[in-house]
Amino acid sequence: MTPRLGEVINQARRTHRLTLRQLAEQVTKDDGTTISPQYLNDIELHHRVPTPYLLRELARVLDQDYDTLLALAGAADIVVQEYLEAHPHQVEPVIRLFRAAQQRGFEDWERLRQIIEKDRKAKA
């Protein structure tokens, strides 16, 4: 069974031996202020889903993979939307790619990500 976002954050926080307050003091919102311990508690109890910005901050502080936290938060559509907004000329090819993969039963998205990362690093 896949863990939920709150469980992963709670476990990572405990692994780092941080209290809710200590972690909250290290996570800043996009306006530069820190989150409250209550907000963090709500995330851990699955009462709130943080923004992608806060997920990135939590990933940074807790040494977690940002994309994994996004996926657990159900925010994959946000990532796709951000990409398509930045690359509007690629909307149709991206949709065709996902449809073709879906129709062929493609499920190894992690391998695809690794291939893309390897290719990106080779071009850099």
Domains identified in the chain and CATH numbers: 5-72 (1.10.260.40), 87-123 (no CATH)
Q: What is the pLDDT of residue 41?
A: 98
Indicate the pLDDT class of residue 61, thresholds 50, 70 and 90. very high
Q: Are 59 and 69 in contact (CB under 8 A)?
A: yes
Q: What is the dihedral of CA 17, 19, 21, 25, to 10 degrees?
A: 10
User: Average per-residue pLDDT in the chain?
Assistant: 87
What would the mean pLDDT of 91-117 be, rounded to a whole number? 78
What would the mean pLDDT of 46-73 be, rounded to a whole number? 92
Indicate the pLDDT class of residue 77, thresholds 50, 70 and 90. low
Distance CA 45, CA 29 (A): 20
Distance CA 9, CA 43 (A): 8
Q: What is the pLDDT of residue 78?
A: 66
